[in-house]
Structure 1
Amino acid sequence: MDLSPARLPASPASRPGGDPLPALLLTCERAGFDVRRENGDGPLCASAAFHQRGEGYFLAKRVTLWATESHEYLFVYQTPRLDPPLWLTLRQDALTRGRACIRPHDEHMVSYVSALVLCDALDAGAADAVRRTRYSKSFWWGLRGWMRLRALAVCLPPPQPAGASALHAGNAAARGPLLALVQKALQPLFHLAEYPQ
């Protein structure tokens, strides 16, 4: 599969509202993610990480009753057209990168690996493949937590006609926080609607 820079969209600035990537990354930063732009030779344009820790104490901080950690690793890809073979490649890339970040231990509860694809055209087969995406893994039979894959593809609207909606397709795990984050970021630029099934 060709993951060269030629697969990137030619002119996102010509889209109504401009390039959605800066708005998305700014929203991620405001939500507490550590955001990093990727300048490599491929469709991966940004990655972000979010870490949360909860603890329970008894009378003093020295006596910790419990502690849990939750993590999310978000990988943002841009491509002119998303088809099923490219989706499988991007899905595997996100899983490989995400698994390299996860460090299971006694206090690890859950890590989400999120693959977000921004594209100019979304193939119906790719939309179905994104919706059907399932991946979860437990560490030490769940004693050291688990990981789950969130998958979301957003087909950006064309420059014309004005007021066109962006379409999204996502798996069940992405319908909560990931979709809400994307909607919050893109709502000022254009309306976001579900890709027809």
Structure 2
Amino acid sequence: MPDSSEDSDPGRDLCLDALARGCEAARFDVRRLREAPSLRMTAVFHQRSERYALIRKATLWAAETHEYLYAYAPSDLDSALWRAILDDVLARGLAAIRPHDEHMTSYISAVLLCRSWHADAADAVRRARFVRSFRWGLRGWARLRTIAVRLPDAEQASAACVCNASARNALLPLIRSALSPLFTL
């Protein structure tokens, strides 16, 4: 799906570099790559919390939280491309999740950096929902976070973004801080 014009966009490459630095500052393990359909970066975050009594072998409880972030850079986001990206993100994210007794939550995050979007695709990003529980929630659950950022160009002075409800409190601040020069007040 990517075309040759996507490979030579220095603005998106700078935004991907800024996003990679922001993810690394938030303690993600970042990997840059080029795959279809326009996948440019993956970032993985793992956190483990536990409580124990007196000695470490006497663990009272333990919980693990994971986030699998996939950054795409399509030039124009339409509904068909969004559906293909969503299917790809869910397939990659669900393949990475390993539910077990101490697994609590895994977030599968899709970040799209695009030059333009169709209104129906932006609305589909905003309405995207996916939740899956593993063994009725006893082995945790997975949730989808989606955000699309329309990068500024000659016609637009500031970047615009749309995100679903689960991305609003956690992923949106990360994106805004990483790409802060693009967002004007």
Query: Do both share a fold (TM > 0.5)?
Result: yes
CA contact (8 A) 1:37 1:47 kept: yes
2:183 aligned partner: 191
The 1:29–1:185 alpha-carbon spacing in structure 2 relative to 1, beyond 3 Å, is same
Runs of 4+ in 1 over 4 A off after TM superposition: none
1:168 aligns with 2:166: no
1:94 aligns with 2:89: yes
Q: How many residues align?
A: 185
Of 121, 139, 159, which residue of structure 1 is paired with 2:134?
Answer: 139
2:80 aligned partner: 85
Matches of 1:190 and 1:32, distance apart in 2: 23
CA contact (8 A) 1:35 1:46 kept: yes
In proportion to residue count, which structure has more helix? 2
Per-residue CA deviation, residues 60-103 of structure 1 (Å, 9 max, x unaligned), is 21210000000000000001100111111101100000001000
Matches of 2:94 and 2:169, distance apart in 1: 22
RMSD: 1.8
Matches of 1:142 and 1:116, distance apart in 2: 26
Of 75, 99, 113, which residue of structure 1 is paired with 2:70?
Answer: 75
CA contact (8 A) 1:114 1:150 kept: yes
What does 1:1-197 align with in structure 2 at a 5 Å threshold?
3-6=1-4, 8=6, 10-13=8-11, 19-158=14-153, 160=154, 164-187=157-180, 189-191=181-183
Structure 1, unmatched stretches of 5+, are none
* TM-score w.r.t. length of structure 1: 0.89
The 1:151–1:184 alpha-carbon spacing in structure 2 relative to 1, beyond 3 Å, is same
Amino acid paired to 2:136? W
Amino acid paired to 2:164? N
CA contact (8 A) 1:68 1:108 kept: yes
- Compute the displacement of 1:34 (Å): 0.4
Matches of 1:126 and 1:79, distance apart in 2: 12
Matches of 2:167 and 2:6, distance apart in 1: 24
